[in-house]
Structure 1
Amino acid sequence: MKKTLLIFTFLCCVITGVKAQVVGVDVGDIAPEIDLPDTKGEKIALSSLRGSLVLVDFWASWCGPCIKEQPLLLKLHNAYPDKLSIYGVSMDTKKPLWTGAIAKGKLPWTNVSDLKYWQSPVVGDYMLQSVPLNFLVDKNGIILAKNIHGKALEDMVKSILE
């Protein structure tokens, strides 16, 4: 299984080398920029996390599957604190619900939102139709995987970082 994941990762890297000039949401594309405010109102650009593996996680406080996956994300965050960054993009429209979910889940990673829900520019940029949705992005901003969850996400992160 590890060998298969390593081969898959290698092939993704080879493919991304060919398509790296395209901004889009397919594996091998450069992830579109996101520059939204965090809970304190300070804008944080996705590109500011370049240099590490980044999981762009679209979620909402009202999304059961999103909340259910947070313990795994916390586990990954704690296992690879200097190698993996998580960039949470909330689709909430009410700041108290968003910040309350962050506090309740004890989510230490970057969390941003413009509180516009489906009117946010990132919805179109990432062709967002529902949450949860995520993108695993390499240190150069290239999408390695999308909509990968649970054990598959854990295994892929592990194969890339170990």
Structure 2
Amino acid sequence: MNMKKLLLLIICLPTFLFAQTKEELINQVKANPADKNSIRIIQKVGGYFPDYNELNTLFKGLDKKVRKSTEGKIFERYLDALKNTMVGKKAPSITQFDLNGDPYSLSDLKGKYVLIDFWASWCPPCREENPKLVKTYAEFKDKNFEILGVSFDKEFTAWEKAIKDDNLTWKHVSDLQGWNNSAGQSYGVKAIPQNLLVDPEGKVIARNLHGEELNAKLRELLK
């Protein structure tokens, strides 16, 4: 089983599960263009590795009444977020509070390669991913690389404890709004753990690289 298939089985999702194959979901959407429920199914199609072009094409195939509904307008904002964070795009700004209660921004790390890591203390796959990130950070932190952890926590104490327990020594921010995290919405994050790699000029150069795949990319960039 490859990494992407494995991750599909273990990620933290807010409201939906992968009970059908992707092909079955796509066929269901195409067969029901007048059903608002098709919007939710399109999001399932995207899952952990959402492809803007694929999801946008499915959405455009829905009846105009569905696309103009409240649910349609909300989903359209999600599509815009995906479009605005595609590889080659300038990463949207992030400013949230750090553990000291001070505002901290993605732009504070300009000039470095930055991994924006979306996670939460309550997400088991995120916590399982953390030891790998600790090793990655140890290897590359002195080579113009940083991590910005963006938490989908709601409770400060749990967030702070997880950072300490997992020895996450990089910068962390959150607005403590859970799935409604403003940065998560700007980046179209509907499942965690999820990350984006940003170059020193602030452009997105990769999405959802984990473990050795991430390390290999960083060695290539920072050699």
TM-score, normalised via structure 1 length: 0.83
Deviation of 1:123 after TM superposition, in Å, equals 2.5
Q: Runs of 5+ in structure 2 lacking a partner?
A: 1-82
RMSD of aligned Cα (Å): 1.2
SS of structure 1 residue aligned to 2:86? coil
Query: Any conservation in 1 of the 2:153–2:159 contact (CA below 8 Å)?
Result: yes
More helix by share: 2
Match of 1:25 in 2: 85
Identity across matched positions, percent: 39
SS at match of 2:157: helix
Q: Secondary structure at the match of 1:55?
A: strand
Taking the aligned partners of 2:171 and 2:88, their CA distance within structure 1 comes to 24
CA distance in 2, matches of 1:104, 1:136: 25
Range 145-154 or range 90-99, more displaced: 145-154
How big is the shift at 1:56?
Answer: 0.2
Deviation at 1:39, TM superposition (A): 0.7
- Higher CA-based Rg: 2
Letter in 1 for 2:205: L
Q: Out of 127, 133, 158, which is 1:67 matched to?
A: 127
Instruction: Determine the structure 2 residue equivalent to 1:139.
Output: 200
Number of aligned residue pairs: give it.
140
Q: CA deviation at 1:119?
A: 2.3
Instruction: Return the letter of the residue paired with 2:91.
Output: A
Are positions 1:126 and 2:163 aligned together?
A: no
Q: Which residue does 1:18 correspond to in 2?
A: none
| Matched residue type, 1:160 | L
CA contact (8 A) 2:112 2:146 kept: yes
Q: Hey, what does 1:19 align to over in structure 2?
A: none
**TM-score normalised to structure 2 length:** 0.61
Shift of 1:127: 0.7
CA distance in 2, matches of 1:32, 1:47: 10
